[in-house]
A and B are shown apart, each in its own frame.
Chain A
Amino acid sequence: VNTADGMPASRLRAGDPPESVTDDAPARAGRLLRWYPAAWRARYGEEFAELLTADIRERPRSAARTRDVVRGGIVARLADAGLAGPSALCQRRGLGAAPRRIGVMGISMGGYGAVLLAEKHPRLVAAVAAISPAIWTSYAQAKAANGVAYASAADFAADDAVTHAGALAHLPVRVAAGYADPFYPGVRALASALPRGAVVEFGNGCHDGSFFTAQEPPSLAFLARHLAPSPAPRRRYAGGGS
């Protein structure tokens, strides 16, 4: 059922050419390793080179191995350069730089998504507004409320909007939530982690349409103000944006 990206073991020949007197496998492994970016090599380089060396000794000539390693290296380089994901997509479409700067706004899970997108791509996003964002304070709480929201505790930690809030240091941010919203504790935690100057709007209301709808005009106005062709002086934003 599983055909891993490799050759069947049965095709390996036991009697492959004997090792030559000068073993060039480590050097060849080292050359293949250069397909991978430095950060990747710092983490996996040593063990990967060991595996490659053993593989080269067992199959001295394998075009399949070379292709596989080159492809893996390219994938790692694309990820390392941020060329996989939203940045690359927007770049191709000419979005994210003046005059086509990006403002993100979202409600509930979308509000969390808007904040997270800005945190992960602070140079791509020019301003963010979140209405009643769905932010849990711990993986245990998230799992109890929605078992499929995160695959694991590590997954939660990787996409925790609160602990990544520092990335928003130079971004205009507006967050609104109702006191009776079940996510209020999470939004409260986010608010205290947000950089100074962020606009935080708490008011009466819960996690429902009437609160969302009331927050849409001020959220859009906030984005419009920060996406305007001639941006307002920085001091105005730092003053609270009310």
Chain B
Amino acid sequence: MRKDTRKEPDEGKALAGFGRYAGAATLIMSSLADGTKHGYALTKDIESFARVRISPGTLYEALGRLESQGLIEAVDSDDRRRPYRLTAAGAAALEAHLAAQRRVADVGLRRLASRWGTA
């Protein structure tokens, strides 16, 4: 591996085109980061860790887009209800996206603490 900052700008762009799906895409990929899940398990997991409920239509629009971009894939299964898993490209894209979000969160929290005395 070369410089570890090299990958970030490129991989971060993978989610840039998602627009209003970006939130759902981040939640889905974060949920899949610890293993495969099918649609129903995804909504339950996201509800428990993010405290938001993704509506079915939004979930499946985002799943379709993520799948067509190669960021997630459906696992072969005897069941016709196939679980989804994160691909290597998806893991890299998620990591870059979350790192960028963390930078924003850090700055926001720091400024809130110094000027508003919170956090």
List A residues at the B interface (Cβ < 8 Å). Answer: 1-10, 12, 44, 46-48, 50-52, 54-55, 64-65, 68-73, 75-76, 147-148, 151-155, 158
B 95-119 to A, binary, CB cutoff 8 A, 1 in contact else 0 = 0000001001100000000000000
* CB closest chain-B residue, reference A70: B57
Are B13 and A9 in contact (CB-based, < 8 A)? no
Query: What separation, in Å, do the CA atoms of A153 and B104 have in the docked complex?
Result: 30
Q: Which residue of A8, A51, A76 is within 8 Å of B52 (Cβ)?
A: A8
Q: How far is the CA of A9 from the CA of B43 in the complex (A)?
A: 11
Alpha-carbon distance A7/B46, docked complex (angstroms): 12
Q: Interface SS of chain A: helix, strand, loop or mixed? A: helix
Q: Let me know if B94 is at the binding interface, CB within 8 A.
A: no
What is the predominant secondary structure among interface residues of chain B facing chain A? Answer: helix
* Cα separation A44 to B73 with both chains bound (whole Å): 13
A148 surroundings in chain B (CB, below 8 A): 10, 13
Contact assessment for A154 and B70 in the assembled complex, using a CB-CB cutoff below 8 Å: yes
- Give, as a whole number of angstroms, the nearest-CB distance from A107 to chain B: 24
| Extra A-B contacts (19), CB below 8 Å, given A8-B53, A154-B68, A154-B89 | A2-B50, A5-B23, A5-B24, A6-B52, A47-B38, A47-B40, A47-B80, A54-B40, A55-B55, A68-B56, A68-B57, A69-B55, A73-B57, A147-B7, A148-B10, A151-B69, A151-B93, A153-B70, A158-B70
Q: Is the CB of A68 within 8 A of B55?
A: yes
Are B52 and A47 in touch, CB under 8 angstroms?
no
Min CB gap B117→A, angstroms: 21
* B71 adjacent to chain A (CB < 8 Å): yes
Q: How large is the interface on B (under 10, 10 to 19, 20 to 34, 35 or more residues)?
A: 35 or more
- Measured between alpha carbons, how far is A8 from B93 in the docked complex, in Å? 26
Contact flags (1/0) for B36-62 with A, using CB distance below 8 Å? 001110010011001111111111110
CB neighbours of B43 from chain A (8 A): 51, 55
Complex Cα distance, B80 from A186, in Å, reads 38
Complex contacts, B26 vs chain A, CB 8 Å: 2
| Contact call A152/B89, Cβ cutoff below 8 A | yes
Question: Nearest chain B CB to A84's CB is how many angstroms away?
Answer: 12
Q: Which residues of B contact A (CB under 8 A)?
A: 7, 10, 13-14, 20, 23-24, 26-27, 38-40, 43, 46-47, 50-61, 63-64, 68-71, 73, 80-82, 87, 89-90, 93, 101, 104-105
Q: Please measure, in the bound complex, the distance between the C-alpha atom of A50 and the C-alpha atom of B10, giving whole angstroms.
A: 37
CB < 8 Å: which of A3, A70, A147 contacts B10?
A: A147
Most buried by B among A9, A47, A48: A47
Q: Give the chain A neighbours of B14 by CB distance below 8 A.
A: 151-152
Task: Assess the B23–A50 pair: CB atoms within 8 A.
Answer: no
A148 to B105, CA, bound (A): 26
Q: Using Cβ atoms and an 8 Å threshold, which residues of chain B touch A154? A: 68-70, 73, 87, 89
Contacts of A158 in B (CB 8 A): 68, 70
Q: Are A5 and B58 in contact (CB under 8 A)?
A: yes
